[in-house]
Structure 1
Amino acid sequence: MKYEWIDEYLLKMPGVSKDLQKDWNWIRYRIGEKMFVAICLDDNDKPYYITLKPEPLEGDFWRKQYEDIIPGYYMNKTHWNSVKADGNVPDDILMDLLEKAYRIVLESLSKKRQKEILGDAI
């Protein structure tokens, strides 16, 4: 996978956990029980897509900018995008998309849960 830094980058975010959803062969990154990023693995357990949650209009914008960003792989096509794991999306763009996916899901949690995750940072 081109984006070897993703695991370390995501796990540094407050409240993020990682697991393997065996039935789907996806490595999921979650805040509480809510997924915000998944690394979809192929039959040889190699990363195939990085699926993340954008705002719908922004997701559509990025799909028009990069051929390596497609509607969510096996996900709701409005609320998820997938980035080819060996694609040509610049690292800084992907980092921004990952950060925004984190914020979208974090902000969907109750204020109490956000405070538990972020402490006094909110």
Structure 2
Amino acid sequence: MYSKLIAYCSSKKGAVQDYPFGPEPLVMKVGGKMFALLNEQGQQDEANISLKCDPVIAENLREQHKCVLPGYHLNKKHWNTVVINGSLPLADLQAMIDHSYDLVFRSLTKNERESITKNLRVQ
């Protein structure tokens, strides 16, 4: 499932893979801003993905799912870390990635958003 999540993150418009902290984690960015951090070997030797999230939704997800934790080494109000242990279906993880990406993409300036969209049309 880990590789499917990387592929899904990479498929987002303007998404770029980066390793600013060394070989782990893989950081997915759009417009130079992080929207996902993926660790193949997480805290409990399980892969995990950290995603930006609306604070109210973040709390709800933590209450509903044991595998959703406050963001590890991140702002716990705005980030969740999800342990990839099979307890959440791929579709739910993809919806969480979409939400994170959308939050970050919308925070970009209008020029940055248009540049990303324009570059995709040219390719």
TM beyond 0.5: yes
Asked whether the equivalents of residues 48 and 86 of structure 1 are also in contact (C-alpha less than 8 Å), the reply is yes
How do residues 1-122 of structure 1 correspond to structure 2 at under 5 angstroms?
2-23=1-22, 25-42=24-41, 48-119=47-118
Amino acid corresponding to residue 32 of structure 2 in structure 1: E
1:52-109 residue CA offsets vs partner (Å, 9 max, x unmatched): 0011111111111110000001111100000002241111111101001000000000
Count of equivalent residues: 118
CA distance in 1, matches of 2:110, 2:57: 25
Q: Give the aligned CA root-mean-square deviation in angstroms.
A: 2.2
Task: Provide structure 1 residue ranges, at least 5 long, that are not aligned to the other structure.
Answer: none
> Do the aligned residues in 1 keep the contact of 2:49 with 2:81 (CA within 8 Å)?
yes
Asked if the contact 1:39–1:47 (Cα under 8 Å) also holds between the matched residues in 2, the reply is no
Could you tell me the TM-score, scaled by structure 2's length?
0.85
Q: State, as a whole percentage, how many aligned pairs show the same letter.
A: 27
Work out whether residues 54 and 79 of structure 1, in 8 Å CA contact, stay in contact via their aligned partners in 2: yes
Aligned-pair distance for 1:113?
Answer: 0.6
